[in-house]
Amino acid sequence: MRRWVKPLVFVVSLLPFAWLFYGAFANTLGANPAEALIRATGDWTLRFLCLTLAITPLRIWTKQPALARLRRMLGLFAFFYAVLHFLCYAWLDMGFELQAIVSDIPKRPFALVGFAALLLMIPLAATSFNRAIKALGAARWQALHKTVYAVVLLGLLHFFWMKAGKNDFGEWSIYAAVIAVLLGWRLKRRFWPAA
């Protein structure tokens, strides 16, 4: 992999944040900027989770093992946008009122599964460094990072319940199809490797 690829991917991964940051201050996010920020950061979280999961099949299909070097960065960007998503909700919806947040999350199933996904992402982000791999050992580290499958499924469920209120499942169906392919590919390699 050429040296410029990782810095380029890093910069490109920050572009959604830069666009939202600019939009918030330039008032270009539409009639309801708070909702636009919350929705957009959630969308980008799910997109980066899909990109992270896509690295392994792409690496194998293209026979480019160097692509694996991008997986950790993309996973950390998924966490970055997930934290932004939660902060936008906590600030713009709840005014950073801790009691209101604590009481609101269990009341709404979509908020509960979204928060559960965020909590599961914390140990993944905290151990996405070489020292953590050495400290945990490769086998335990790999087992821990398989939690990403639960994270992406919870994220998909969170998005489904968000869309269910408006009976709008078009965009959700695209994410569901992409995630089904990415997880189905892994199941096939695990249980039918010869095929």
pLDDT at residue 14, as a whole number: 98
112, 106 contact by CB (below 8 A):
yes
pLDDT tier for residue 173 given thresholds of 50, 70 and 90: very high
82 burial class (0-12, 13-18, 19+ CB within 10 angstroms)? Answer: buried
Q: Examine the pLDDT at 36 and tell me if it is beyond 80.
A: yes
**28 with 37: CB under 8 angstroms?**
no
pLDDT band at 26 (very low <50, low <70, confident <90, very high): very high
pLDDT at 191: 84
**What integer pLDDT is reported at residue 190 of this predicted model?**
84
Please give the DSSP secondary-structure letter assigned to residue 97: -
Q: Using the structure block, give the residue that is written with the tokens 């692509």.
A: 67
pLDDT greater than 80 at residue 49? yes
Place of tokens 């899909």: 50
Task: List C-alpha distances in Å: 75 to 80, 134, 136, 158.
Answer: 9, 19, 19, 19
Given a cut of 60, whether residue 195 has pLDDT beyond it is: no
pLDDT reading at 105 higher than 60:
yes
Confidence of residue 2 (pLDDT cuts 50, 70, 90): confident
Q: Are 49 and 152 in contact (CB under 8 A)?
A: yes
Nearest alpha-carbon partner for 154 in 180, 120, 106, 103: 120
Over range 44-61, report the average pLDDT: 97
Mean pLDDT of the chain: 94
Distance of CA 77 to the CA centre of its chain: 8
CB hemisphere CA count around 127 (13 angstroms): 21
How far is C-alpha 35 from the chain's CA centre?
18
pLDDT at 15 over 90: yes
Is this model's pTM higher than 0.85 or not?
Answer: yes
